[in-house]
Amino acid sequence: MTAMATAPSSQRRAAAIPVTRARVDAAVRLGAVAALWLGLLLVTYWWTTGGGIQDLSSWQDGLMSTGRLTGLLASDLLLVQVVLMARVPLLEHAFGQDRLATIHRLVGLTSFNLMVAHVVLITWGYAAGSLAATPGTLWNLTWDYPGMLLAVAGTLCLFLVVGTSIRAVRRRTRYESWHLMHLYAYLGVGLALPHQLWTGQEFLRSPGATAYWWTLWAVAAGAVLVWRVGLPLWRNARHDLRVTSVVAESPDVVSVYVTGRRLDRLRVEPGQFFQWRFLGRAGWTRANPYSISAAPDGHSLRITVKELGDGSRSLHALRPGTRALVEGPYGRLSPRSRTRRRIVLIGAGVGITPLRSLAEGLAYEPGEAVLLHRYADRPLFQRELESLARERGLRVVDLPGPRRAAHSWLGSGVDGVDDLTALRHWVPDLADRDVYVCGPGAWVESVRRTTAAAGLPDEQFHVETFGW
């Protein structure tokens, strides 16, 4: 069991001070959204000044002009999508993984639809507005125009990524396989660059447009090289993470303890997660996201994992000394998002893992922290939570039993009262607290609806979902 000490007095005093990081993150979110819309407006402006609107006067020219606009907007959003996927710390801190994933999905689908519209409209325009001639024209464009073969290959990569992201398909695909195929998005975007530079007159129409597009490409490529490649390589070389032990928490849940060099410099906070790879086992090249389940102490890390897939099932066989490679830390389910002294932690099943580390690592006085713990069979970390209750004054409310209804987030052990009434009974001052939630997506949304009905402002609801 990880040793749990009372939070130092300096940490307790910090909890009473308004958290400036939350304000900085809010400013970053506002600036990021403004930059996104400004980029789209600039692209549309350059299309307009280049005769885009005048070209709408005839059918054929209108198809070509609209095709150019959709292509420009698609290119802009594709590069934005790359930046969203690049794990840029500024964005990670401001948005968190759950919100970034939602934005990434929206931007990705929008850019993909615009790209398809671009291909159809441009080809139709080159075919002089004749649908019958469009397939042959597409073939000629692919073979005769510079960069078009690469663009077609890139488009096929993006089709693969979007196709495997459809929820029905994703449910039937192993996470490890889906994650690997999702990386083809980088290849798809990269293969489109020669086509844009060689045949995209809008990219070179003015010095401002040229500077904008080259800057956007440089930012996207630089973000990937620095944050997805360079930083993980540097951190793993610096910290040399190794497994020290594997402990069974239940028949299908294990905790993995890891140590390394200079872990006090790792900058991980309670509640965050890493993408993990353990060398020497089948499928080690595919990363899996696991949250830390104990507050980092500068000497070791602990993750607690339920056996749900190939990657998690193999963790029980890890041997001491096994090398661990990580990307991260990621996630906003951490002290960074805190804005109130009093907190509520709400977790379901193995979703208790990041909340367990928050319960240990956050600063609070007795009575200021409440943990609502839903579990089907037996609670995880029961002894550790009891110890936190004694030493730190954490109030633990057990919610045993399977989920009692599809619309409810409570367990069957809580009967005779609706979700909102129960929540108000346990936490009457909910609106004056920060709420940290972790669990399956549908369950989390049920919690969100109940907390909103109880008057909790959206900015005080901090979430991380598991599953995918």
Structural domain includes residue 429: yes
By the 8 A CB rule, do 59 and 127 touch?
no
Q: What is the pLDDT of residue 231?
A: 95
Flag whether pLDDT at 401 surpasses 60: yes
Flag whether pLDDT at 26 surpasses 80: yes
pLDDT in tens, 437-468: 999 888 999 999 999 999 999 999 999 886 54
Instruction: Single out the residue in 211, 235, 259 at which a domain terminates.
Output: 235
Q: What's the mean pLDDT in 259-286?
A: 89
Instruction: Single out the residue in 190, 211, 235 at which a domain terminates.
Output: 235
Structural domain includes residue 295: no
**Count of other CB atoms within 10 angstroms of residue 272:** 26
At 236, the pLDDT band (50, 70, 90 cuts) reads very high
Structural domain includes residue 148: yes
Measured CA to CA, the distance from residue 342 to residue 173 in angstroms comes to: 40
Same domain, 203 and 76: yes
Same domain, 87 and 225: yes
Instruction: Single out the residue in 235, 268, 293 at which a domain terminates.
Output: 235
Same domain, 223 and 366: no
Range ranked top by mean pLDDT from 3-12, 29-38, 313-322 = 29-38
Alpha helices in 127-200 (DSSP H): 134-144, 148-165, 167-171, 175-182, 184-199
Q: Is the dihedral of CA 77, 287, 25, 230 positive or negative?
A: negative
Q: What's the mean pLDDT in 361-389?
A: 92
Same domain, 230 and 353: no
Q: What is the pLDDT of residue 419?
A: 93
Residue whose entry in the numeric block shows the structure tokens 């948005």:
95
More confident residue, 99 or 448: 448
294 φ/ψ sector (left φ>0, alpha ψ -120 to 50, else beta): beta
By the 8 A CB rule, do 255 and 302 touch?
yes
Domain count for the chain:
2
At 16, the pLDDT band (50, 70, 90 cuts) reads very low
Q: Is beta strand 273-278 parallel, antiparallel or unpaired with respect to 324-330?
A: antiparallel
Q: Which residues of 421-442 are buried (b: 16+ CB within 10 A; e: fewer)?
A: ebbbeebeebeebbbbbbbbee
pLDDT in tens, 287-341: 889 999 999 999 999 999 988 766 677 888 899 999 999 999 998 899 988 989 9
Backbone angles phi, psi at 273, to 5 degrees: -135, 165
Structural domain includes residue 267: no
As a whole number of Å, the end-to-end CA separation of the chain is 30
Same domain, 156 and 25: yes
Structural domain includes residue 109: yes
Structural domain includes residue 291: no
Structural domain harbouring 458: 335-466
* CA dist 430 → 359, 374, 427, 454 (Å): 17, 18, 5, 7
Q: What is the pLDDT of residue 312?
A: 73
Flag whether pLDDT at 13 surpasses 80: no
Q: What is the pLDDT of residue 9?
A: 39
Same domain, 213 and 349: no
Structural domain includes residue 308: no
Structural domain includes residue 250: no
CATH number, domain containing residue 423:
3.40.50.80
Measured CA to CA, the distance from residue 234 to residue 72 in angstroms comes to: 36
